[in-house]
Structure 1
Amino acid sequence: MLSDEELLRYSRQVLLSQVDIAGQLRLKQGRVLLVGLGGLGSPAALYLAAAGVGELHLADFDTVDLTNLQRQVLHDSTSVGSSKVDSASSRLQALNPHVRLVAHRQALDSDSLAAAVAGVDVVLDCSDNFNTREAVNAACVAAGRPLVSGAAIRLEGQLSVFDTRRPESPCYHCLYGHGSEAELTCSEAGVLGPLVGLVGSLQALEALKLLAGFGEPLIGRLLLIDGLGTRLRELRVKRDPACAVCAERHG
């Protein structure tokens, strides 16, 4: 049940017919894993906590650096040098004490990642490197958990949802294969703060839709964001029947 305080806190989204009391209860019962608490994970975590998602699992082994603060709005100047998970937990608990927080301060290996993914309903990949994205995708396919994947660099962003419980859905590997050896990071190429804010906010939106069961998730579609020209473009993404990661699941 929702308390009177919760009904008041979430009243503006409960007013939406797509959410209503039933959807808010589903959010309260929902569990989300956020892999990465940086530029993408910051807005995603804030909006998920504010929306009343019942349990947030926070995974990041890094500490807050001064260079993070230009875009990682979950942290502030007093957090520099401290664990991102601890910094995030403090901010999110202050924002919404009804949300339960589960900390993963160490780098997730294959076993701990598999357990973390299996313990939630939706996974948000907010990481910044291809190897992590591939590992998270494989764990989501194995556990049958939907993956909301976002990325941003320079003035460009992209977003998609992979849910291999649905026979038509590709996985991350279907789209990107083995990636690129020339992968750049934000520290090498730069990124504008509002762009990662936009992508991370959209990741939170997709997660809320999946948890509460409304709208059309971004499955089989890749959203491309051009921050320089303020343009959005959508590409259709098909499942690879020979994919090394998800072909066996689809049979």
Structure 2
Amino acid sequence: MPEFDYHAAFRRTHGWVTWPELERLRGARVAIAGLGGVGGSHLLTLARLGVGRFHIADFDCFELHNMNRQAGAGMSRLGRPKVEVLREMALDINPELEITTFPEGVHQHNLEAFLQGVDLYVDGLDFFVFQARREVFAVCAERGIPAITVAPLGMGAALLNFRPGGVSFDDYFDLRDGLPDEELALRFMMGLAPSMMQMGYLADPAAVDLKAQHGPSTVMACELCAGVMGTEALKILLGRGRVVWAPHGVHFDAYRQRLARTWRPGGNRNPLQRLLLAIGRRRLARLRANAQ
């Protein structure tokens, strides 16, 4: 077996980035919380891009229902910790990687260590994990760490970037303590993708149940998210290219072959957004009534 050589392994990336830029990626440190639907693909994408240092966090193990979309999910890996499996897969791409694992997931007591020395945070938490997500984004803002979230919606990807000194995660989504989980989910979903393109081809609306924290997913969306995230990470880490920051966002839907660029000053407090949220609440109420 040949010995690993970083420059030989990633030489095909050269041309889209310069050799000095590749060395900067090699020295960059990225934190990823959540290694499920999108998080695992995020890690492997960044490893193949040449990023050399990671902090990864997830407390969960692989289960059969992960098979339809999650990188690392396989029959031989059922019951194994996601953080352990994905670490092995990333090291198989680049044995020189520096990977610090947080097998207990992210929480208030380890956020300082999780974000220590990090150049970029990438959100891979489950859609319905609101408290931990809010806490991570808040600490990123305090520490001046740019943060990316790309949501897999239907068969597309919805991107929002948050920069230090810009609009905060909580302010954009209008999140606060005391809101019921269903309302938090609605605000998060509508804030990510105001155009809601994915709803036009939802084959069975009964599969969406925000109150029960359940929704359908596709592998196409997860892989699209990883590609979008990797491109944004490259631009942010190398300081080149146009980066769109919240309250601007981008939603690409492969099924409908459409791209929507959104601008919501005030986020979910925007008058148009408040109207869309009201419509969304009525739709959810109808879905609940039809399910009974």
Residue 188 of structure 1: CA displacement? Answer: 1.7
Alignment of 1:87-98 (within 5 A): 87-98=85-96
Residue in 2 that maps onto 1:246: none
Offset from partner CA, 1:162-213 (integer Å, 9 cap, x none): 0114xxx322222211177312399722111111211122112211221122
Residue in 2 that maps onto 1:248: none
Q: Secondary structure of the residue that 1:70 maps to in structure 2? A: coil
Residue 9 of structure 1: CA displacement? Answer: 1.7
Offset from partner CA, 1:98-120 (integer Å, 9 cap, x none): 21111100032213113312331
Q: Kindly indicate whether residue 146 of structure 2 is the aligned counterpart of residue 146 of structure 1.
A: yes
Decide whether the 8 Å contact of 2:252 with 2:259 is kept in 1: yes
Residue 33 of structure 1: CA displacement? Answer: 0.4
Residue in 1 that maps onto 2:188: none
The 2-side partners of 1:185 and 1:212 are apart by: 41
Decide whether the 8 Å contact of 1:157 with 1:195 is kept in 2: yes
The 2-side partners of 1:28 and 1:103 are apart by: 18
Q: Kindly indicate whether residue 6 of structure 2 is the aligned counterpart of residue 6 of structure 1.
A: yes
Alignment of 1:91-130 (within 5 A): 91-128=89-126, 129-130=129-130
Decide whether the 8 Å contact of 1:225 with 1:232 is kept in 2: yes
Decide whether the 8 Å contact of 1:52 with 1:99 is kept in 2: no
Q: How many residues align?
A: 234
Decide whether the 8 Å contact of 1:154 with 1:186 is kept in 2: no
Decide whether the 8 Å contact of 1:153 with 1:185 is kept in 2: no
Offset from partner CA, 1:32-65 (integer Å, 9 cap, x none): 0011101111221111111111101111010111
Q: Kindly indicate whether residue 77 of structure 2 is the aligned counterpart of residue 79 of structure 1.
A: yes
* 1:24–1:226 CA distance, 2 compared to 1 (3 A): same
Residue in 2 that maps onto 1:62: 60
Decide whether the 8 Å contact of 2:33 with 2:106 is kept in 1: no
Amino acid at match of 1:64: F
Residue in 2 that maps onto 1:192: 218
Residue 81 of structure 1: CA displacement? Answer: 0.1
Residue 155 of structure 1: CA displacement? Answer: 4.1
Amino acid at match of 2:77: S
Residue 237 of structure 1: CA displacement? Answer: 4.3
Structure 1: 5+ residue stretches without partners:
243-251
Amino acid at match of 1:181: D
Residue in 1 that maps onto 2:168: 171
Residue 219 of structure 1: CA displacement? Answer: 1.4
Structure 2: 5+ residue stretches without partners:
186-209, 270-292
TM-score (normalised: structure 1): 0.84
Whose Rg is larger? 2
Offset from partner CA, 1:60-119 (integer Å, 9 cap, x none): 010111111210023322111010000101111111112111110003221311331233
TM-score (normalised: structure 2): 0.73
Q: Kindly indicate whether residue 244 of structure 2 is the aligned counterpart of residue 218 of structure 1.
A: yes
Q: 1:29 aligns with which of 15, 20, 27?
A: 27
Q: Runs in 1 of length 4+ with deviation above 4 angstroms? A: none
Amino acid at match of 2:169: Y
Identity of aligned residues (%): 26
The 1-side partners of 2:219 and 2:85 are apart by: 19
Amino acid at match of 1:171: S
The 2-side partners of 1:235 and 1:85 are apart by: 34
Decide whether the 8 Å contact of 1:65 with 1:81 is kept in 2: yes
The 2-side partners of 1:52 and 1:180 are apart by: 41
